[in-house]
Amino acid sequence: MASSLVLPSPSSASTSYSTPLFSSSRSFFTHKSFVPKRTRLRTSVNSEISEPVNGKPRVPIINDGTLPKFLQASRMQNSVRGNNNRLKIFTGTANPSLSQEIAWYMGFELGKVKIKRFADGEIYVQLQESVRGCDVYLVQSTCPPANENLMELLVMIDACRRASAKTITAVIPYFGYARADRKTQGRESIGAKLVANLITEAGADRVLACDLHSGQSMGYFDIPVDHVYCQPVVLDYLASKKISSDDLVVVSPDVGGVARARAFAKKLSDAPLAIVDKRRHGHNVAEVMNLIGDVKGKVAVMVDDMIDTAG
């Protein structure tokens, strides 16, 4: 028995232009002495655009109100519905809600794709629209189940490549296997490099990742990597809470994250810093040894690089 996922396009994303400003017609004639009368042609071309405002076409504004207020930047009020048929956004099954919000924010409709699982767990992907010559963006995290979502991303990339897409950008908000970026002991694999090779060989032209476990992971790719940070979004959220700088402390969960936490604290009026000194006895197993710093009676903001257990 196979389960399938067909993502519909939101009806609210459709845009119509109904105010004609001009229509141009052009007639083509051939000389009577060379061509019979029945072959004379008259064609007209009509072009319609919306009424311009300040020299720019006026189109509906994106303001569906689906995002929290702290995510609705001021530029959101000026965003417009896109009409670029050469750009396509598709999503996998990892987080379709996030992909939908990204598409709405940009003013595009999500591309139609059919994804299903066969009885033995194999993944089937079929694009429901043409992407020939288009710039395709595939939004797919490798969140749990990491292996299935990663394989789904690879199959989606391959489907777009075989459909003659111009460029393929893998948008990976959560990049799994990033912690395996070096050998800490003998006979270990470097999973981050392996995954980078898989994505590249599948046919991706570019990767867009968010808050990688370590910056060196970008060097594992043989294709361009855009590394973006969610720090501005988190800062906007904290600013909406109106927390006094005297009541705030930034906490690093381990010694290795001190530099990251310090950079975050500087953005919060140079808030004080606390450090958790812990030692690991195995993967996903940590013993808290000591807390360096004062957090009593304060709002603690913990800045971590990866949270897969949230323990």
In a domain, 308, yes or no: no
In a domain, 279, yes or no: yes
Contact 250, 270 (CB under 8 A): no
* Torsion angles phi and psi, residue 73, rounded to 5: -70, 165
Distance CA 94, CA 299 (A): 32
Question: Which amino acid, residue 83?
Answer: N
Map tokens 């809470």 to a residue.
241
Q: Measured between alpha carbons, how far is residue 211 from residues 90, 155, 175, 193, 216 in Å?
A: 21, 24, 9, 17, 12
Contact 103, 109 (CB under 8 A): yes
In a domain, 236, yes or no: no
pLDDT at residue 29, rounded to an integer: 37
The total of structural domains in the chain comes to 2
* Statement to judge: residues 247 and 220 lie in one domain: no
* Statement to judge: residues 173 and 89 lie in one domain: yes
Q: pTM for the complete prediction?
A: 0.67
Q: How confident is the prediction along the chain (311 residues), in pLDDT tens digits per residue?
A: 555 555 544 444 444 434 343 334 443 333 444 444 444 443 333 333 344 444 444 333 333 444 555 555 544 444 444 456 899 999 999 999 999 999 999 999 999 999 999 999 999 999 999 999 999 999 999 988 999 999 999 999 999 999 999 999 999 999 989 888 888 788 999 999 999 999 999 999 999 999 888 777 888 899 999 999 888 888 888 888 888 878 999 999 888 788 889 988 999 889 999 998 877 666 666 666 788 899 999 999 998 877 665 54
Half-sphere exposure of 14 (CA within 13 A, CB side): 5
In a domain, 34, yes or no: no
In a domain, 214, yes or no: yes
Domain residues for the domain of 289 are 243-302
Map tokens 């530029």 to a residue.
75
Q: Could you tell me the CATH number of the domain that includes residue 220?
A: 3.40.50.2020
* Statement to judge: residues 254 and 218 lie in one domain: no
